[in-house]
């Protein structure tokens, strides 16, 4: 094969390969975005489930009260604070910075939980 053809084949392969890579990178990015959109914490039986939740930066965590008694979600450092949540009411917070966020129910302070943002 003439060298010009070789160069053409090589160039096409490189372009094709980069296109593939770029494509897969954006696919991966959108998969991450889909994961980060919403994570649930269930409040039931005077406890947060899961008690410790680990999520990536940018995640919105939604607490739903499934208990038959009202609860609140209050961060120990007052970074977030819900209104009182009766049964089936929700509270959401988006974690934009990495760190560990302990929280509790201000009505029943023995109820504690933690969100770890990585």
Partner 1 sequence: MAKNSKDEILHDHNHDGIDRRGFLKCMAWAGTGTLCVMQGGVLKSYSLSRLSDLGASAAAAGELSFAQISDSHMGFNKPANPDVAGTLKAAVDKINALPTAPEFLLHTGDISHLSKPEEFDTVDQILKATGKEVFFVPGEHDVLNDDGAQFHERYGKGTKGSGWYSFDKKGVHFVGLVNVMNLKAGGLGTLGHDQLEWLEDDVKHLKSSTPIVVFAHIPLWSVYPEWGWGTEDSAQALAYLKKFGSVTVLNGHIHQIMQKVEGNVTFHTAASTAFPQPQPGKADSPGPMKVPAEQLRGILGITDVNYVRGQHALAVVDSSLA
Binding positions for partner 1, rule: CB under 8 A: 45-47, 67-70, 72, 74, 76, 83-84, 86-87, 102-104, 106-110, 112
CB of 59 to partner 1, least distance (A): 22
Nearer to partner 1, 88 or 97 (CB): 88
Nearer to partner 1, 2 or 110 (CB): 110
CB of 88 to partner 1, least distance (A): 11
3-state secondary structure the chain: CCHHHHHHHHHHHHHHHHHHHHHHHHHHHHHHHHHHCCEEEEEECCEEECCEEEECCCCEEEEEECCCCCECCEECCCCCECCCECCCCEEEEECCCCEEEEEECCCCCCCEEEEEEC
CB of 110 to partner 1, least distance (A): 4
């Amino acid at each position: 094969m003439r060298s010009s053809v070789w160069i053409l084949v090589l160039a096409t392969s490189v372009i094709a390969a980069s296109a593939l890579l770029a494509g897969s990178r954006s696919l991966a990015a959108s998969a991450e975005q889909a994961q980060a959109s919403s994570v649930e914490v269930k409040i039931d039986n005077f406890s947060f489930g899961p008690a410790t939740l680990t999520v990536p930066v940018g995640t919105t965590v939604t607490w739903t009260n499934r208990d038959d008694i009202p609860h609140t979600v209050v961060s120990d450092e007052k970074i977030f604070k819900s209104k009182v949540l009766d049964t089936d009411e929700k509270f959401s917070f988006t974690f934009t910075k990495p760190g560990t966020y302990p929280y509790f129910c201000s009505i029943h302070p023995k109820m504690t939980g933690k969100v770890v943002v990585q």
